[in-house]
Copies of this chain bind each other. A is one copy, B any other.
């Protein structure tokens, strides 16, 4: 997606440890116009898939999921990372390994909102090692829902999570794939 790549080149900042900061438009301040273009692009790519639900994960997936859902006319469901009094007791749970924090954390989705009749599109801002996405896939399976695929805004191709998922037959559509951030230079696939 050209508009997105231009925005990444213009506003993205590469920092130590292969970190790409896009907090001016994607995960702290949100450029709602760009998010709408992203939502339209996901709709274009998954329009024939009869999606019934968008599943994402807090925090940074929520805005993208919500804006995208407008184009599919379906509800969004976001997995929670922390215990919350807003959540049911009956939940699907999955363990996600965080490389940055070097530990597992639990994600949860209330059982009542996801079931075997659902056709699920996963949405997230970043895909690196793919562990968060694996957690969402696990929860989709527990619900016996149909996994249609994943729509990702930025994939860090050099961390191979996306390719591993594709090799396992999972459809992963990333709007921008970055193959290198070495020497502070953003190289797209």
- Using a CB–CB cutoff of 8 Å, the interface residues on chain A facing chain B are 19, 21-25, 27-33, 35-36, 58-60, 62-63, 65-67, 69-70, 73-78, 80, 85-88, 100, 109-110, 112-113
- B residues in contact with A21, CB < 8 Å: 86, 88
| Nearest CB of chain B from residue A87's CB, rounded to whole Å | 6
Q: Is the CB of A32 within 8 A of B66?
A: yes
Tell me if A's interface is mostly helix, strand, loop or mixed: mixed
| Nearest CB of chain B from residue A114's CB, rounded to whole Å | 9
- B residues in contact with A23, CB < 8 Å: 86-88, 110, 113
Closest 7 CB pairs of A and B: A63-B66, A30-B76, A62-B62, A29-B113, A32-B69, A58-B59, A29-B77
Q: Which residue of B lies closest to A69 (CB)?
A: B32
| Nearest CB of chain B from residue A148's CB, rounded to whole Å | 18
- B residues in contact with A31, CB < 8 Å: 75
Cα distance, A95 to B76, chains bound together (Å): 31
Q: Is the CB of B24 within 8 A of A113?
A: yes
- B residues in contact with A66, CB < 8 Å: 30, 32, 35, 62-63, 66-67
Cα distance, A19 to B84, chains bound together (Å): 12
- B residues in contact with A112, CB < 8 Å: 24
Q: Could you list 23 A-B pairs, sorted by A, with CB under 8 Å?
A: A21-B86, A23-B86, A23-B87, A24-B113, A28-B77, A28-B78, A28-B80, A28-B86, A28-B113, A29-B77, A29-B110, A30-B69, A30-B76, A32-B66, A32-B69, A32-B75, A32-B76, A36-B70, A58-B58, A59-B59, A60-B86, A63-B65, A66-B66
